[in-house]
Structure 1
């Protein structure tokens, strides 16, 4: 919602101020299709040229993500802590039972109790792979911590390709606007024999290219890139919480303490309160 408000406010203030100052939209609207074709077409073409198909798909989906905001919220972090609490308890009391859950999470009642987490393949594989490794005696906490840090770092690097690609497009747009403006000046110079009022309109149309390149870069594409980068980093906080809990479990800390370590790792704005988490864990114990 805030993203849409920001877009509307940007257009209203820029073009509203232009009109109130006595500017005529006719000049911009007349040149807009041609300038947009040159600037937007060149930007999209260079974007396709410089990025892999996977990055292009991520960037297109990322526009929607940047408007919706982060995927994971406080309730999701509380759910993942509850899920890890159950799995760690099971790992210590009945390792054979745990194996059936981590080998087939889709049919596991423990995982099925948290459908949003189960629907995310990265969350499920991160938890299942780590617990599986621990069951195979790969239980050195420091090695596991390093392994998880590398894996999560790689996941973060891959998902940040899209915002970096959008930022590169934003950086190129002002220069592409200048290219369009220069072409407009060339067109104007070829009509130098026209009367001043005609030349003035042609020069104004040429300057629309410069305006459009700068406006698209700093008011549209760059904010989308920055927002997508921020959303991506916030979503990865969930993986850091998972890492903290699993590593604490390998250090043989009490299960409640492992979960509390994970809770403290969560960013403050999505961190479940101690009381809410305690109540959720108490409900799980009663249900089991």
Structure 2
């Protein structure tokens, strides 16, 4: 919703101000289709040249994040802490039983309680791979933390590709607008023998290209790139929380302490209150009993 409001505000303020200042939309509307073909088409072509098919699909999909916002909501962080708490307790009480959950999470009665987490392959793999490694005596906290850091850095770098691709397009749009404007000037020079009122319209139409390139770059595509980056970075905190809790577990802290470490590393606007989380953990203990 905020993304839609932002777009409406941009168009309303730019074109509303132009009309209030006495500007006429007729010249812009007449030139807009042709300028959009040149500028938009060239931008799309450059985007296709500079990215492979997987990156193109990824970028198109990530544009939706501008309107949807972060994937992980406050309740999801609480669910994650509860899931990790249950897994850690089982791993310490019955290592054989926990293997049933981490080897086949799709069939796990524990993971199935949190379908949104189960549907995220990276979150599930991160949890299961780390706990499986610990069961195989690869449990040095510092080594495991280093491995997890590298893994998450690679994942974040990949997830940010959409933002970089959009920003590259935004950086090129003003120059493409100049290209369209120059072509408009060339067209105008071919009609130099026409009266001033005709030349004025031709020059105005040529300048629409410069306007459109700058407007698209700084009014739409650039902000889209920034928003995608913000959402991706915020969602990455979900996976960082998994790392913090599981590393605390390898340090042999009490299960409740491991979860508290995770709670305190949760982003402030998504962090559950201590009392609320405590109640949720008590419910897990009661179910286990």
Residue 69 (structure 1) aligned with residue 76 (structure 2): no
Aligned to 1:215: 215
Runs of 4+ residues deviating >3 angstroms: none
TM-score, normalised to structure 2, is 0.99
Q: Secondary structure at the match of 2:70?
A: coil
Alignment of structure 1 residues 1-288 onto 2, 5 Å = 1-288=1-288
How big is the alpha-carbon RMSD for the aligned residues of Structure 1 and Structure 2?
0.6
How many Å separate the matches in 2 of 1:272 and 1:154?
28
TM-aligned CA deviation for residue 275 of structure 1: 1.1
Q: Secondary structure at the match of 1:109?
A: coil
Q: Extract unaligned runs of 5+ from structure 2.
A: none
Deviations 1:187-239 (A, max 9, x none): 00011001110000000000000000000000000000000000000000000
Deviations 1:145-193 (A, max 9, x none): 0011111111000000110010010000000000000000000001100
TM-aligned CA deviation for residue 266 of structure 1: 1.0
How many Å separate the matches in 2 of 1:259 and 1:58?
33
Deviations 1:117-140 (A, max 9, x none): 000000000000000111111010
TM-aligned CA deviation for residue 59 of structure 1: 1.1
Q: Secondary structure at the match of 1:139?
A: coil
- Aligned pair count reads 288
Q: Extract unaligned runs of 5+ from structure 1.
A: none
151-160 or 50-59, which deviates more: 50-59
